């Protein structure tokens, strides 16, 4: 207990508070900028069991903000590199790593073991999937997100409180992620730290939780504002659930087979020519739906992923039953096909 002496002497924590931390199980979804800020503080504070979900590998362009990783980490799975760093900080930790992306199919299994979930993703689709699963399972989801020099923090689904979808009912693909908008390490660091702080407060039963509220921090002005949610939690309609699109990897898309639908505009490169692949640009998709069978198993792709999601939504609305979208884009698909050919 000497290790935690400086925090156990705080009013309201004590040995029993430390035991609560030791007994808690927290799942962190995303081991990028936010995850790298959240994880070391939970590990050092003595949270007994941590799960980390991320299918990505470390890239050079991550290092300016994802401070758990070093140059030696490049090319390695983020979850494994963060496990290494965290277990050297606290060898008593139980760390479980999941080197996968969270999907509609695996979300329930991933969250089931954990008391508390931290949304440290940079992907709106994944956030809606996680939010819905947490709402149904009655688990709090601590949300953090960045737009350039601003960050948002909130706690959703806390003790029956509002969900993310009740705040933002429509999925919005127009908001940029860090790769598109740019970000400073200190911005994700501070927002991640606020998420870790909410997690500690929830576990310890202290302070006011950001449930039913959203905090927005402007790093350039050092300005922090908290807005109250007046929205009543509504029963989520079937339509809202089915409008969430399942994202799958390129590998999985090829294994599953079915129709590959390229929704890029004509002339976009690289060209993907496969027997089971057809091209209908997103701009004309709605007028050409009759070219696709309603029963077909359809996997949509584009150049980077966001048009595929929009197209998948159009298809779902038009009652196509089996629609998925590829995470990534045409060049990932082509890379894999070429690899497979060279192996066989």
- Rounded to a whole number of angstroms, the minimum distance from the CB of residue 123 to other proteins is 7
CA 123, CA 320: separation in Å to the nearest integer? 24
Q: Write out the two tokens for 341.
A: 């050919």
Query: 143-181 burial by CB neighbour count: b if 16+ within 10 A, else e?
Result: bbbbeebbbbbbbbbbeebbbbbbbeeebeeeeebbeee
Q: Write out the two tokens for 10.
A: 């705080």
Beta-bridge partner residues of 258: none
CA 117, CA 338: separation in Å to the nearest integer? 38
Part of the chain binding other proteins (CB under 8 A), chosen from 93-101, 141-149, 203-211, 284-292: 141-149
Q: Does 222 participate in binding other proteins (rule CB under 8 A)?
A: no
Q: Does 130 participate in binding other proteins (rule CB under 8 A)?
A: no
Residue from 63, 80, 229, 337 touching other proteins (CB under 8 A): that is: 229
- Rounded to a whole number of angstroms, the minimum distance from the CB of residue 163 to other proteins is 13
- Rounded to a whole number of angstroms, the minimum distance from the CB of residue 183 to other proteins is 6
Residue from 17, 32, 40, 305 touching other proteins (CB under 8 A): that is: 32
Part of the chain binding other proteins (CB under 8 A), chosen from 45-53, 72-80, 177-185, 288-296: 177-185
**Which of 158/320 has CB closer to other proteins?**
158
Residue from 8, 18, 24, 123 touching other proteins (CB under 8 A): that is: 123
Q: Write out the two tokens for 7.
A: 């925090």
CA 229, CA 302: separation in Å to the nearest integer? 36
**Which of 145/303 has CB closer to other proteins?**
145
Residue from 17, 30, 305, 329 touching other proteins (CB under 8 A): that is: 30
**Which of 24/145 has CB closer to other proteins?**
145
**Which of 10/181 has CB closer to other proteins?**
181
Within 10 angstroms of residue 51's Cβ, the number of other Cβ atoms is 21
CA 175, CA 113: separation in Å to the nearest integer? 32
What angle, 0 to 180 degrees and rounded to 10, lies between the N-to-C axes of helices 33-45 and 78-89?
A: 30
Q: Does 172 participate in binding other proteins (rule CB under 8 A)?
A: yes
- Rounded to a whole number of angstroms, the minimum distance from the CB of residue 319 to other proteins is 25
Part of the chain binding other proteins (CB under 8 A), chosen from 56-64, 129-137, 178-186, 263-271: 178-186
Q: What is the dihedral of CA 217, 223, 228, 229, to 10 degrees?
A: -30
**Which residue, among 24, 17, 88, has the nearest Cα to 51 in the 3D structure?**
24
Binding stretches for other proteins (CB under 8 A): 30, 32-35, 120-124, 127, 144-148, 150-152, 167-168, 170, 172, 174-178, 181, 183, 188, 214, 216, 218, 221, 225-232
């Amino acid at each position: 207990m000497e290790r935690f002496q400086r925090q156990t002497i705080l009013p309201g924590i004590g040995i029993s508070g430390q035991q609560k931390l030791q007994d808690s199980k927290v799942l962190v979804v995303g081991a990028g900028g936010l995850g790298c800020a959240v994880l070391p503080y939970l590990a050092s504070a003595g949270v007994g069991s941590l799960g980390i979900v991320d299918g990505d590998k470390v890239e050079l362009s991550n290092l300016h903000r994802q401070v758990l990783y070093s140059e030696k980490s490049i090319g390695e799975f983020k979850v494994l590199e963060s496990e290494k760093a965290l277990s050297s900080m606290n060898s008593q930790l139980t760390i479980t790593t999941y080197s996968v992306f969270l999907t509609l199919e695996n979300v329930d299994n991933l969250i089931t073991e954990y008391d508390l979930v931290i949304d440290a993703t940079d992907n709106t689709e994944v956030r809606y999937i996680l939010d819905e699963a947490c709402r149904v399972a009655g688990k709090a989801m601590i949300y953090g997100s960045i737009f350039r020099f601003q960050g948002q923090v909130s706690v959703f689904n806390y003790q029956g409180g509002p969900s993310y979808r009740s705040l933002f009912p429509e999925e919005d693909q127009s908001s940029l992620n860090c790769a598109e908008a740019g970000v400073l390490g200190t911005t994700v660091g501070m927002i991640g730290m606020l998420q870790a702080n909410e997690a500690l407060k929830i576990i310890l039963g202290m302070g006011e939780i950001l449930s039913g509220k959203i905090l927005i921090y402007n790093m350039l002005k050092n300005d922090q504002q908290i807005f109250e949610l007046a929205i009543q939690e509504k029963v989520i309609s079937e339509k809202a659930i089915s409008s969430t699109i399942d994202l799958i990897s390129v590998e999985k898309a090829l294994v599953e087979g079915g129709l590959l639908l390229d929704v890029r505009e004509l002339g976009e490169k690289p060209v993907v020519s496969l027997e089971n692949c057809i091209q209908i640009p997103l701009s004309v998709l709605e007028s050409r739906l009759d070219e696709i069978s309603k029963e077909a198993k359809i996997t949509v792709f584009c150049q980077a992923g966001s048009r595929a999601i929009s197209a998948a939504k159009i298809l779902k609305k038009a009652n196509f039953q089996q629609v998925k979208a590829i995470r990534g884009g045409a060049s990932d698909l082509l890379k894999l096909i070429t690899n497979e050919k060279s192996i066989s």
